[in-house]
Structure 1
Amino acid sequence: MSQEQQVEFGWFLPTTGDSRHIGVPAEREATASYLIQVAQAAEKAGYAFALIPAGGDCLDGWTVGSWIAAHTNTLKPLIALRPGYVAPVPAARTAAAFDRLSQGRLRLNVVTGHYEADLKASGDPLYDNHDARYERTREFLDIFQGVWDSGPESSPEGYHYQGRHYSVEGAVCRPRPVQTQPPLYFGGSSEVGKRVAARHADVYLMWAEPLDWIRGQIEEMERYLDEAAADHGTRRTLRYGLRAQLVVRETEEEAWEAAREILRLAPEELKLSAAEYQRKSGAVNQRRQMELYEGSAGQDYVIGPNLWAGLTAVRGGGAVALVGTPEQVADRILEFVEAGISSFILSGYPHLEEAEISGRLLLPLVQERLLARRNPSHETPPAARL
């Protein structure tokens, strides 16, 4: 199957509340009713899965995921798996139960780090030791996946493991997941993070950056896959994903007006304090986002065609936005596909309306273009041709 045939789109569930604006208190509470609305709108729009965020101010992802799975038909919850917050064997059993009850819809987002204050507040003894957290994640995933792989036929005595951070003896997971292995999505731009991803991940996630930066990260990950193959004897196949904000409108002027409106109410002092806070982040991917933000200040934070870093002023994480008409944004998405991206996690403010808008204006056009790439004889609407 070609890469284009595997291209998937996911949306985002705003579990801290939702707004048209950021940098101010949420205008909509993250109630069960509202999150169901967003999830159902995303499913109707054509999104295959929904990212549920993790952090001290977020609703618990497993609770939200269970609720969403019960109120949708095909939408797959992408739930944070946080090594250090729970032991690997109970986590494997929880995931297996979720996967069975949702009939194979579980996806897992491995989250190793966060802001140091959040890690410390959560009681993580490794809150200030970046590399040790990734070493713990590697051991966690060894066990997490090993328990699923073990069974009466392959390992009658259960799964055994001895590491620096974890030790288990005779671990079992029954019943097992519906999927052989629910897919693992994994982010982390540091060397140690990429090495763990090369060993365990199914999808390596990056925050949106200019194309040449993304190509560079993919080339680096491919080298780590080669190293892992030399160590373990098998060359794993890794897919690549992109996390981005989205503002798409029928005209370019409307799109940029809507993008800048998101920040209109954010106090200037908040922008300054948020930027300073993010500069101090120990996360390599956050430092990359800040480099883009600060380096583009003289260009109104435009970092490439239809790529805008302006939201980084207030929002940490994957703040870079795709901004433009459906045709322009589809062009950018196809460029990322050509670079190697096959999984897109998108979001917009507010998430309910933006899911509906993107489902109407953008996703059908992108799917037409992807179909045309696979089948050159397929006729696409004139506005959608490359």
Structure 2
Amino acid sequence: MSITSIASEVEFGWFIPTNGDGEFVGVPVEREPSQQYFVDVARAAEKAGYEFALIPAGGDCWDGWIVGSWVASATTRLKPLVAMRPGLITPVLAARMAATLDRMSGGRALVNVVTGHYPIDLKATGDPLHGSHDERYERTREFLEVVKGVWHHEGGYANGYTFTGSHYQVEGGVCLPAPVQKPHPPLYFGGSSEAGKRVAAEAADVYLMWAEPLDWISGQIAEMEGYLKELEARKGIRRQLKYGIRAQLVVRETEEEAWAAAWRILSKADPEKVTSREKLHANTDATNQKRQMDLWQQSQQNDYVIGPNLWSGLSAIRGGGAVAFVGTPEQVSDRLLEFIDGGVTSFILSGYPHLEEAEISGRLLLPLVKRKLSERRPGQQQGIVPTI
């Protein structure tokens, strides 16, 4: 078994808050979503040194494809990471939309494959499999086979791509225009269940996890590497994955300032709302959300500290990747390096409010962590993943 250094492949992404923004969680947003604010955040992230920006998906978010196109037109390097949602859009149409965004942005489109969400949201958007967790991932497997099929297919309508599966039947499928990036725009994929991980092993380019203690993340990476080996043994398909995490960020000049800023985010939340949000999270069938709530519950007696400079305090208020890196630039950069050494190459970060926190992290954190990476000699770079 050989090993591959990953230090030179590390990328940092920010977040566009398309459902509003502000200094606090658990209260009405202070800044309503708007075209100008999305552009302001995107430009601040690009100036700060972030390579890409996640555009969220969900019931209270503005449409990610339109927002992604908007911010791509207002930036020069920032790559929009936009969600494809199997079950809510057909795969050939999704492939064309992604290819069009890739063309219009000059090869900057990134695709986030979102299979699940809260069942109530999936039901509200018309997904017939809103209550069938594993079947949604089987549908996603077919969906991505079709998307890649039409991306790679060079024939016209007369000799188009054909696919017959349990969820999709395609005859004469064509993607015009073709994407700029080869072999295709990178596919980011999250899903902590066995069903999700098996599909990721077959189809993803970057496997995304919500931030957890390093040993939990290492366990998930080891599990994914096992599924890759199983895939090769079962189908003769040899693939490699990159790994990423989604996390919050609170970085200040001193540790005291950082923790005060973190707790300030929660300072206006109604305790009863904390309880009700926890119950909402408990109703999801998403394994990754359940893992986040497990961390929150296990850390209640420790001020929600779940590891060095890792804090789970936001998890009961907001869903998704709520765990935060909290500390000084030196501390947080060291924590990021530890995750890099554990195999993580993609970091999707955010903070409240997103405009100011992009600037702060771009000034205090990113230059430091990038400098530390660049100064590592080859023998010092511990960030390795197995090549199978």
TM range (shorter): over 0.9
SS of 2:195's equivalent in the other structure is helix
Counterpart residue number, 1:383: none
1:4-19 residue pairs with structure 2 within 5 A?
Answer: 4-19=7-22
Cα shift at 1:228: 1.3
- 2:186 corresponds to which residue? 183
Give the aligned partner of residue 165 of structure 1: 167
Structure 1 residue 376 displacement after superposition = 7.5
Q: For 1:41 and 1:252, how far apart are their aligned partners in 2?
A: 24
CA distance in 2, matches of 1:159, 1:232: 22
Matches within 5 A, 1:335-346: 335-346=338-349
Give 1:380's aligned residue: none
Q: Distance in 1 between matches of 2:200 and 2:178?
A: 23
Question: 8 Å contact 1:4–1:374 — kept in the other structure?
Answer: no
3-state SS, counterpart of residue 68 of structure 2: helix
Deviation at 1:172, TM superposition (A): 1.1
Instruction: Tell me what 2:73 maps to.
Output: 70
Partners of 1:50 and 1:373 lie apart in 2 by: 27
Find the residue that maps to 1:262 and give its secondary structure.
helix
Please state whether the residue corresponding to 1:355 is helix, strand or coil: helix
Residue 156 of structure 1 and its aligned partner are, at CA, apart by 6.8
Contact 1:15/1:58 (8 A) holds in 2: yes
Secondary structure at the aligned position of 2:232 is classed as helix
CA offsets, 1:149-181, max 9 Å, x none?
Answer: 11139x971111100000001111122100120
Tell me how far apart the structure 1 counterparts of residues 316 and 98 of structure 2 sit (CA, whole Å).
36
Unaligned 5+ segments in structure 2 are 381-388
Equivalent position of 1:196 in the other structure: 199
Aligned to 2:269: 266
Instruction: Answer yes or no: is the 8 Å Cα contact 1:119–1:127 preserved in 2.
Output: yes
Between the aligned partners of 2:251 and 2:119, the Cα distance in structure 1 is 34
Residue 375 of structure 1 deviates from its aligned partner by 5.7
Residue 315 of structure 2 corresponds to: 312
Question: Structure 2 CA distance, aligned partners of 1:183 and 1:164?
Answer: 25
Aligned counterparts of 1:376 and 1:219: Cα–Cα separation in 2: 23
SS in 1 for 2:306: strand
User: What SS does structure 1 have at the residue aligned with 2:29?
Assistant: coil
Distance 1:156 1:334, change over 3 A: farther
Residue of structure 1 equivalent to 2:256: 253
Tell me the equivalent position of 1:381. Answer: none
Residue 113 of structure 1 deviates from its aligned partner by 0.2
Over aligned residue pairs, what C-alpha RMSD do you find? 1.3
Letter in 1 for 2:175: C
Could you tell me how far apart the structure 2 residues matched to 1:250 and 1:235 are? Answer: 45
The amino acid of 1:160's aligned partner reads T
| Aligned with 1:85 (options 75, 85, 88) | 88
Structure 1: runs of 5+ lacking an equivalent: 378-386
1:123 is aligned to 2:126: yes
Return the letter of the residue paired with 1:227. E
- How big is the shift at 1:246? 0.1
Matched, 1:144 2:147: yes
Q: Distance in 2 between matches of 1:374 and 1:228?
A: 34
Taking the TM superposition and a 5 Å limit, the aligned residue runs for 1:1-386 are: 2-152=5-155, 157-180=159-182, 181-374=184-377
Aligned-partner SS, 1:112: coil
Give the superposition deviation at 1:38.
0.3
Structure 1 stretches of at least 4 aligned residues deviating more than 6 Å after TM superposition? none
| Separation (CA, whole Å) in 2 of partners of 1:115 and 1:344 | 24
CA–CA distance in 1 between the matches of 2:93 and 2:37? Answer: 30
2:376 aligned counterpart, secondary structure: helix
In structure 2, C-alpha distance between the alignment counterparts of 1:177 and 1:281, rounded to whole Å: 35
SS in 2 for 1:204: strand
Deviations 1:170-227 (A, max 9, x none): 1111221001200000000000000000001000000000011000000000011111
Give the direction of change, closer, same or farther, for the CA distance of 1:284–1:123 in structure 2 (3 Å limit).
same
Question: How far off is 1:269 after superposition?
Answer: 0.6
- Match of residue 385 from structure 2: none
**Mapped partners of 1:205, 1:2: distance in 2:** 19
Structure 1 residues 355 and 299 mapped into 2: Cα distance closer, same or farther (>3 Å)? same
- Secondary structure of 1:185's partner? strand
Q: Deviations over 1:49-80 (max 9, x none)?
A: 00000001000000000100100000000001
* Count of aligned pairs between the two proteins: 376
Instruction: Using the TM superposition, give the Cα deviation of residue 308 of structure 1 relative to its aligned residue in structure 2, in angstroms.
Output: 0.2
Give, as a single letter, the amino acid of the residue that structure 2 aligns with 1:171. Answer: G
Instruction: Kindly indicate whether the alpha-carbon contact (under 8 Å) linking 2:155 and 2:174 is maintained by their aligned counterparts in 1.
Output: no
